[in-house]
């Protein structure tokens, strides 16, 4: 009986240690990688998401954010999702389109009439269908869309009409659809990694680049460019994507919690970008940059001819569904 009591006590002690170990287990830290600066809303809102996720999951998960291409360029972090070297990323729609072509349509130039059209698209059945198609193709899970802003052209030559862009060497991200707008206006699109753009502009490797106003400010492109032309040629967005290995390892409860936190994060950044867009035209003027508003109609008309051409990664039905969104 004495030995039996000792054995039972030892067993109880082992069980207590096991339970205690589970109760005090360190949270799993998810790596969130992106290519943007620490000053930008994408980063600051992502950092704030860590505490939100810890609260939502009872401290089972938190997030560490790696900004400014510190875990690799955009192509690298997209590849890292499937390898499990990163857990969450921001990425452009055209990069996601490498895995599932139709989803790139939202990043094509002059695809949306205005912000309202874009906002309704991201909450549409069409986008839900394409997110499912992307997940089936890549194994990775899209949770959210963040407004990135309207993309405009910066340059060291003044641009007022499409003819002014002829032969202009303009930096674009390394994804084919970013080349559609420059090609439509007879410019020369030149893919350069995001982290290398400032130096390329400074050294004259390229004459121009295109990005939203908040990015132009954050990356200080205005220091090496004389003009901003408000072409608004892409109403751009970032997708928040969770890698398949990470998503598959989570319980349904924790998946739902992460989904909600990442949606909150997308709204956090989107609201700040909308406000910054409204404020920055005057800020650039105050800092000596010439900001030109132009008639976008000829730029749009030149580009729309290419919407369903050789570079389209979507079919006519998808295009028509998007254009029919009111």
CA distances from 90 to 69, 85, 166, 169, 306 (A): 11, 15, 33, 27, 27
Q: What is the mean pLDDT of residues 83-108?
A: 95
Strands, DSSP E only, in 93-246? 141-155, 169-172, 188-191, 208-212, 227-242
Residue 150 · residue 111 · CB < 8 Å = no
Confidence of residue 176 (pLDDT cuts 50, 70, 90): confident
Q: What is the pLDDT of residue 25?
A: 78
Q: Which residues contact 70 (CB under 8 A, 6 or more apart)?
A: 33
Mean pLDDT of 48-58: 98
Q: What is the mean pLDDT of residues 233-250?
A: 97
* Region 2-21 average pLDDT: 46
For residue 65, the model assigns a pLDDT of 98
Strands 141-155 and 208-212: antiparallel
Q: Using the structure block, give the residue that is written with the tokens 């875990």.
A: 71
Neighbours of 278 (CB within 10 A): 10
Which of 172, 92, 133, 182 has the alpha carbon at shortest distance from 314? 133
Give this prediction's pTM. 0.84
Tokens found for residue 250: 């989570």
User: How confident is the model at residue 24, as a pLDDT?
Assistant: 60
Answer whether residue 20 shows pLDDT above 90. Answer: no
Give pLDDT, residue 105.
97
Residue 322, CB half-sphere, CA atoms under 13 Å: how many? 28
In sequence order, what are the residues at sequence separation of 6 or more whose Cβ sits closer than 8 angstroms to the Cβ of residue 228? 152, 153, 154, 213, 216, 222, 284, 289, 290, 291, 292
Q: How many CB atoms lie within 10 A of CB 136?
A: 10
Which of left, alpha, beta for 32 (phi over 0: left; psi -120 to 50: alpha)?
Answer: beta
E-only strand ranges, the chain: 28-33, 61-66, 88-92, 141-155, 169-172, 188-191, 208-212, 227-242, 290-293
Going by C-alpha positions, the residue among 209, 207, 211, 224 that lies closest to residue 280 is 211
Cβ partners under 8 Å of residue 272, min gap 6: 41, 45
Of 14-18, 246-250, 258-262, the poorest mean pLDDT is in 14-18
Confidence of residue 175 (pLDDT cuts 50, 70, 90): confident
pLDDT in tens, 268-287: 999 999 999 999 999 999 99
- Determine the longest span between alpha carbons in the chain, in angstroms: 97
Question: Does the pLDDT at position 256 exceed 90?
Answer: yes
- The yes-or-no verdict on residue 213 having pLDDT over 50 is yes
Average pLDDT over residues 105-125: 95
């Amino acid at each position: 009986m004495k030995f039996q009591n000792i054995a039972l006590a030892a067993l109880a002690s082992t069980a207590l240690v096991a339970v205690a170990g589970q109760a005090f287990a360190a949270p799993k830290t998810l790596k969130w990688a992106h290519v943007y600066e620490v000053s930008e809303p994408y980063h600051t809102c992502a950092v704030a998401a860590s505490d939100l996720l810890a609260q939502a999951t009872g401290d089972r998960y938190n997030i560490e954010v790696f900004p400014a291409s510190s875990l690799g360029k955009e192509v690298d972090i997209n590849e890292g999702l499937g390898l499990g070297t990163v857990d969450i990323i921001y990425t452009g729609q055209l990069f996601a389109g490498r895995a599932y072509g139709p989803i790139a349509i939202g990043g094509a130039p002059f695809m949306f009439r205005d912000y309202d059209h874009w906002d309704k698209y991201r909450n549409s059945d069409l986008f839900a269908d394409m997110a499912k198609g992307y997940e089936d193709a890549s194994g990775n899970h899209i949770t959210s869309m963040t407004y990135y802003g309207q993309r405009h052209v910066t340059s060291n030559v003044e641009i007022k009409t499409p003819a002014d862009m002829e032969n202009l060497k303009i930096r674009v991200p390394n994804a084919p659809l970013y080349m559609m707008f420059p090609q439509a206006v007879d410019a020369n699109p030149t893919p350069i990694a995001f982290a290398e753009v400032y130096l390329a502009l400074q050294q004259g490797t390229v004459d121009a680049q295109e990005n939203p106003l908040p990015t132009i400010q954050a990356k200080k492109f205005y220091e090496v460019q004389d003009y901003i032309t408000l072409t608004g040629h892409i109403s751009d967005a970032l997708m928040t994507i969770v890698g398949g290995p990470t998503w598959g390892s989570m319980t349904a409860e924790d998946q739902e919690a992460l989904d909600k936190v990442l949606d909150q994060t997308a709204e956090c950044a989107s609201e700040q970008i909308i406000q910054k867009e409204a404020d920055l035209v005057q800020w650039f003027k105050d800092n000596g940059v010439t900001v030109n508003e132009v008639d976008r109609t000829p730029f749009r008309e030149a580009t729309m001819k290419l919407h369903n051409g050789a570079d389209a990664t979507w079919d006519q039905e998808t295009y028509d569904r998007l254009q029919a969104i009111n």
